[in-house]
Structure 1
Amino acid sequence: MGAMPATHALIELLGDVALLLWGVHMVRTGILRAFGGDLRQLLGRALRNRLAACLAGLGVTVALQSSTATGMMATSFLADGVIGLMPALAVMLGANAGTALVVWALSFDITIVFPALIFVGLVIFRTGTRTRSRNLGRATIGLGLVLLSLHLLVGTIVPDTVAPEARELISAITREPLPVLVMAALITWAMHSSIAAVLVIVSLADSGLVTPLAALAMVLGANLGSAFNPLLAATSGDRNALRLPIGNLFNRIAGCVAVLPFLPETAAYLSQIEPDPGRMAAGFHLLFNVVLALLFILPLASQAKLLEKLIPDRPRSDDPASPRYLDAASLDVPRVALANASREALRMADVVEEMLKGSRELLRRDDNRLAAELRRMDYVLDRLHGSLKRFLGELSQRELSEEDAARLAHVQTVALNLEHAGDIIDKGVLTLAAKRIRRHLRLTGRQAAEAEAMHDHLLAQLRLAGAVFMGDDLRSALRLVEEKERFREFERAAAESQFAELAEGPDQAETSSLHLDVVRDLKRVDAHLAAIAHPLLERSNLLRPSRLVRLPRPGDAQ
């Protein structure tokens, strides 16, 4: 067979690498959709101890075939304050070893099984009736595509099919270890997958296109390059999110600096132990990450303290309307993105709570400065809702499981109802309070007591809505909707007393009318808070389409 033209070989190589990347992506997304919540819980339970955290990071990464996804989970726990920096760094040490273990396993000649994996995965995907089984089928197909791409890579880059000028060029650019390391780091950063990058290196070594020394230098570069993507993704986040990838990058750099001077001797020694160049490169990759984990797991506490000292917490933004938790990097892991969106929705609930407390004060005392502050809170609420809506819009374009899609819809419902509640307080209750101040009106003792009781009821409803939203508590959801009846009682009592107050004079008549308008606006706020429970009640088949009693129609059976 004649040598393949360089352009032809390059196009085939790019296609093979693209297939490899897509296969890895399918495995990761399939496992995340099938077991993402379980894996997150497993990781969360193991983060109290550095050794357990390291092993959990290894196990989750082997399942997901992505240290980046594991790192995002650890970062979310870190940002929530659930864990400290030290166990999060331990997770990354385990995650790096996990990716190396996957590469080592795939370096063996198991390409004969890829047709079976693709066929079995397709059958599971097409015949599965449950979301989890279909996602497992997707992951199986992805694994088959990974093995198929490796088979194609070997066929593309065997020396007999590569033109002599291409072989000479590859030989020239892989002669010195340091430039090869930098080149491999840049390529791995561009590929966004260390597993795919090292598997390509294994294929190059197997074909003989690169020497064992160059293969090991490329493996070091792949380890270094894979640490840049999480760092770049975290530059726009908070300091907690930045410390973890910087610590991970430091560990990789330290390992590369320690090994690079002894790389020729290491290549010669490993070649005697493992004559197969591809498996030698995969074994070196695994050995490198395991040794790094063993070396750095003990001084992690000191490393964490140093990182916290070098990267102190950034002062909180003075702008309360700026979102704090909507990290764009988390969009690649829907569970993490939804957790961040939920936290931002709770910030909206905090703003509504402050508006309710402020409106209660304005109905019993004159304070124009407080009125102006509460008006600005509605602007904050609108800004937060806009940011959250855009974030959820971007997330909805990703491939989501049914559970994640339902959660996204619930977050949207909560944010929309909170924003509407804020608008009612701003344009209704606060306007009425300003009118009361401007006209020097005073609520009667009964009216003030009713207004106080209504606000206390709404504050309790708001806290109950937060519990329903974050905990999916069905009992609290039922109570939240049932408590709406209280406002019918408030409205009925205010309407009945209005006629008695009309006889007391025009001032009392105007005050009574204003009080009745406040009751009606607060009732609308209560309806929006109760609507937060509707998605959970609908999923549980506990919400009627209508409260109307259906009358029999002519011709219906008696």
Structure 2
Amino acid sequence: MSGSVVLLHLAGAVALMLYATRMVRTGVERAYGDLLRQKLRSTMRNPFMAVIVGTALAIALQSSTAVTLLVGSFAGAGIVSGMAGQLAVRGAEIGSALVVKILSFDLTLLVPICIAGGTAIFLATERRTWRQFGRILVGIGLLLLSLEMIGQASEPLRDSKLLPVIIDYFSGDPVTAYLLAALITWLFHSSIAGVLLVVQLAGRGLIPPELGIVLVLGVNLGSSIIAPLLTRGAEPEVRVVPIGNLLMRGLGSLVMLAAFLTFKPSPALIGATSTDQIINAHILFNVIVLVAGIPCSPLVYRASQALVALGTSAKPAESLAMVELSALNQADLGTPSLALANATRETVRVCETVEIMLKRIIELYESANTDKVTALAALDDRVDDKTAAIKLYLAKATIQQMTEDEALRCQELLGACVRLEQVGDIIVRNMLVHVQKKMQRGLEFTPEGWRELSTFHATVLANARLAFNVLISRDPDSARQLVVEKDRLRDFEKETSHSHFARLREGAERSVETSAIHLDTIRDLKQINSLLTSMVYPVLEEQGLLQKTRLKAS
């Protein structure tokens, strides 16, 4: 087999591994992401629990970068402290390393089980959670299959005459090998994929363990760079945790590389086989960084803040004209198709703003101050201004002769604008009032009540994202799924109300204090869900999938 064919097979196997990892992460985020976020909020205040939860979350998402970004957003919102966030990220790095350890075992039997079982679950139900669970199983199966493919694709390299020369070069130039591994990991956007590739090659005897350890240290450097680059345009508070991770993990990998090259310890000390030695070195490195990070957290946190402040002061101010650039091009009003496309683009921006409002309001229930309340109210003003501009633009567009489909799309966008404006009003005029009342009176929900509210909100937020997608894709299956979710939410509301009144009967003091806020919030979220669901009705009507009435014929 020629070298180019071998590399092609290897590239395909690596691509499948990256896709499978992303598939598992997407399934977990869609099915359980919002619930995991709520759990993370409630436990991050305890440093020890922050490490544990960070580890578990990285195993679930199969990505320490995803956890870093999530924790950074919490720190930016003031939900958790920057130091607790950095400890959670340290735990996430260990979780990511443990995933590599788990995947290093012989799990070939799980490949057909996961793929067949996941596909059956995905196709057998319309329930979002179960479909995403099926997606997760298929992703795990494909991930294990990709590891087999990498091993098979690299087998012909044993007989290569060029590979020993390359390996000898990198063994004699560990710094270049270290930097190359960092670059590849950054391209992969996954430390798990980077370490697994090294492990598979070492398991075939293609890489000596000494070089494998150097490459793993490079993988850790590359992984620590990903989150800071992804958040470089975010608010300063959001960037503190990723920068802190870069300081701890990135600089830690440099220190460990220097120590490894200086003292040249035998890899046999941490494992019997080259595979075990590389994996254990990866885990050991992240454990050392965690242990060192506990006493160093205050120092690293202050250094991270200083670096972020330095970057912020050096960053040129953005032009407000660019930030508020409108898609409503007046020159396109003479062409209805272009005008509708412009209006759709602008409506999508309104959807994004509403999604931000819906995400932030639940955070304010937990941690609120006057500045955050004012900022959220300002977003509603933006929604009102943009929806008014869209409605005026569409009114001008109707002066031109439109086809029947264009006229229906125009009405659909107008209806979406009205509903988005109503959702913004509910968040600001109703839910924000509940937040202020809770803040002024110093009220706290019971753990059960907060869990119910968080879960209910997570479901509504997931439905909102689905509704916004349908507005663009006009996919009837997704629209139908959203209506099914609306019915499930109604049943969930009944269960929540029963549980709440049961706590009131038992005389739970905090339930009595927060009863009105709890019930009003559930009502507001249900109304928001109904408004967003009604945005997809035109798609269902087009397909003849929508009944005119729920009433039975008499």
Give the Cα–Cα distance (whole angstroms) in 1 for the partners of residues 51 and 151 of structure 2: 34
Give the Cα–Cα distance (whole angstroms) in 2 for the partners of residues 412 and 173 of structure 1: 59
- Residue in 2 that maps onto 1:547: none
Q: Secondary structure at the match of 2:254?
A: helix
1:78 aligns with 2:75: yes
After TM superposition, give the deviation of residue 201 of structure 1 in Å.
Answer: 0.4
After TM superposition, give the deviation of residue 354 of structure 1 in Å.
Answer: 11
Instruction: Please tell me the root mean square deviation across aligned C-alpha atoms, in Å.
Output: 4.4
Would you say the 8 A contact 1:65–1:102 is kept in 2?
Answer: yes
- Residue in 1 that maps onto 2:301: 304
**Residues 165 and 296 (structure 1), Cα distance of their counterparts in 2 relative to 1, 3 Å cut:** same
Q: 2:100 aligns with which of 72, 90, 103?
A: 103
Residue 291 of structure 2 aligns with an amino acid whose one-letter code is L
Q: 2:239 aligns with which of 223, 242, 259?
A: 242
1:496-548: CA deviation from partner (whole Å, max 9, x where unpaired): xxxxxxxxxxxxxxxxxxxxxxxxxxxxxxxxxxx99854346899xxxxxxx
Would you say the 8 A contact 1:16–1:153 is kept in 2?
Answer: yes
- Residue in 2 that maps onto 1:478: none
- Residue in 2 that maps onto 1:142: 139
% same residue: 30
Would you say the 8 A contact 1:46–1:56 is kept in 2?
Answer: yes
- Residue in 1 that maps onto 2:31: 34
Q: 1:464 aligns with which of 419, 424, 430?
A: 430
Give the Cα–Cα distance (whole angstroms) in 2 for the partners of residues 160 and 74 of structure 1: 41
1:120 aligns with 2:117: yes
1:288-344: CA deviation from partner (whole Å, max 9, x where unpaired): 101111110222123212322343395897959958xxxxxxx9xx99994467559
- Residue in 1 that maps onto 2:487: none
**Residues 130 and 534 (structure 1), Cα distance of their counterparts in 2 relative to 1, 3 Å cut:** closer
**Residues 227 and 382 (structure 1), Cα distance of their counterparts in 2 relative to 1, 3 Å cut:** farther
1:66 aligns with 2:63: yes
- Residue in 2 that maps onto 1:536: 529
Q: TM-score, normalised by structure 2?
A: 0.62
Would you say the 8 A contact 2:64–2:89 is kept in 1?
Answer: yes
**Residues 382 and 49 (structure 1), Cα distance of their counterparts in 2 relative to 1, 3 Å cut:** farther
1:424-472: CA deviation from partner (whole Å, max 9, x where unpaired): xxxxxxxxxxxxxxxxxxxxxxxxxxxxxxxxxxx99962275699998
Residue 86 of structure 2 aligns with an amino acid whose one-letter code is L
Would you say the 8 A contact 1:213–1:263 is kept in 2?
Answer: no
- Residue in 1 that maps onto 2:162: 165
Unaligned residue ranges in structure 2 (runs of 5+): 325-347, 362-372, 394-412, 436-452, 458-523, 535-547
Structure whose CA Rg is larger: 1
After TM superposition, give the deviation of residue 250 of structure 1 in Å.
Answer: 0.8
After TM superposition, give the deviation of residue 180 of structure 1 in Å.
Answer: 0.6
Would you say the 8 A contact 1:184–1:222 is kept in 2?
Answer: yes
Q: TM-score, normalised by structure 1?
A: 0.61
Would you say the 8 A contact 1:212–1:277 is kept in 2?
Answer: yes
**For 1:239-388, what aligned pairs fall within 5 Å after superposition?**
239-263=236-260, 268-312=265-309, 314=312, 319=320, 322=323, 338-339=355-356, 343=360, 347=375, 349-350=377-378
- Residue in 2 that maps onto 1:202: 199
**Residues 246 and 417 (structure 1), Cα distance of their counterparts in 2 relative to 1, 3 Å cut:** same
Unaligned residue ranges in structure 1 (runs of 5+): 324-330, 356-376, 387-408, 422-458, 474-530, 542-549, 551-556
Would you say the 8 A contact 1:58–1:98 is kept in 2?
Answer: yes
Q: Secondary structure at the match of 1:164?
A: coil
Give the Cα–Cα distance (whole angstroms) in 1 for the partners of residues 287 and 195 of structure 2: 16
Give the Cα–Cα distance (whole angstroms) in 1 for the partners of residues 270 and 32 of structure 2: 39
Aligned residues: 395
- Residue in 2 that maps onto 1:417: 421
After TM superposition, give the deviation of residue 131 of structure 1 in Å.
Answer: 1.3
- Residue in 1 that maps onto 2:445: none
After TM superposition, give the deviation of residue 42 of structure 1 in Å.
Answer: 1.4
